[in-house]
Structure 1
Amino acid sequence: MSADGGGHLKMYILIRESVPTGFAVLAAAHASLAAYLKFRDAPEVAEWLSGPFYKAVCKVTDEEFEKAKAFEDHVVLTESALGGQEVAIAFKPRREWPKAFRFYRLYRS
């Protein structure tokens, strides 16, 4: 069963809640590109790019961030202006997501 109840391919981007909003916006943009570059040869990415182009950007706690690193097919982003802190994780698009993704909060300012 998918975490979001849909059958569409979706990319998740998780941003640490402690990251200031301006850096969070940059991190989300960088994360999307980094995930595309890392996984561009995967068939899921080709299908995802053909549409619909779903992404979910979520705000997570430090604990959720660390636990999410255990899930496969991701890239972790750091921010040099924040001392190299890990600020975001982007996941390869997929249809089925681990249960934890159902509980991440969508990023809202």
Structure 2
Amino acid sequence: MDQEAAPKPAAPLKMYILIRDSVPTGHAVLAAAHASLAAYLRFQHTPEVAEWLSGPFYKAVCRVSDAEFEQGRACEDHVVLTESSLGGQEVAIAFRPRREWPKAFRFFRLYK
């Protein structure tokens, strides 16, 4: 008897937030919070955010070099955050939640 393989469950939606590693820890924590809210506000009317909010709503906050920050910027559907107390420096990028990510995102270091 042939049995069809059960379909693979879809990967969960995940939001990535990239924080420059040059940002001091206190500012980085604020940047991550602001980035999450900014991405939600920018993309709140998309089907991905509606599904993501139904849970679980995964986020990966990564600490990245300047080169990795620029590499991340090439990925579509993002919002860049600046910090006025750091002279308007770009400190974070937050992305619309999605299932599939460019391969480079797997190698970004999680913020610890």
Cα deviation code 1:43-67 (max 9, x no counterpart) = 0000000000100000000000011
> 1:24 Cα deviation (Å)?
0.1
Cα deviation code 1:22-73 (max 9, x no counterpart) = 0000000000000000000000000000000100000000000011111100
CA distance in structure 2 between the partners assigned to 1:42 and 1:75 by the alignment: 15
Correspondence 1:94 to 2:98: yes
| Paired residues, number | 103
SS at match of 2:81: strand
Q: Which residue of 1 is the match for residue 83 of structure 2?
A: 79
Correspondence 1:67 to 2:71: yes
CA distance in structure 2 between the partners assigned to 1:44 and 1:50 by the alignment: 10
RMSD of aligned C-alpha atoms? 0.8
* Ranges of 4+ aligned residues in structure 1 off by more than 3 Å: none
CA distance in structure 2 between the partners assigned to 1:68 and 1:10 by the alignment: 15
Q: Which residue of 2 is the match for residue 16 of structure 1?
A: 20
Structure with larger Rg: 2
CA distance in structure 2 between the partners assigned to 1:9 and 1:67 by the alignment: 21
TM-score (structure 2 length as normaliser): 0.90
TM-score (structure 1 length as normaliser): 0.93
Q: Gaps spanning 5+ residues in structure 2: where?
A: 1-9
Greater RCO (CA < 8 Å, at least 6 residues apart):
1
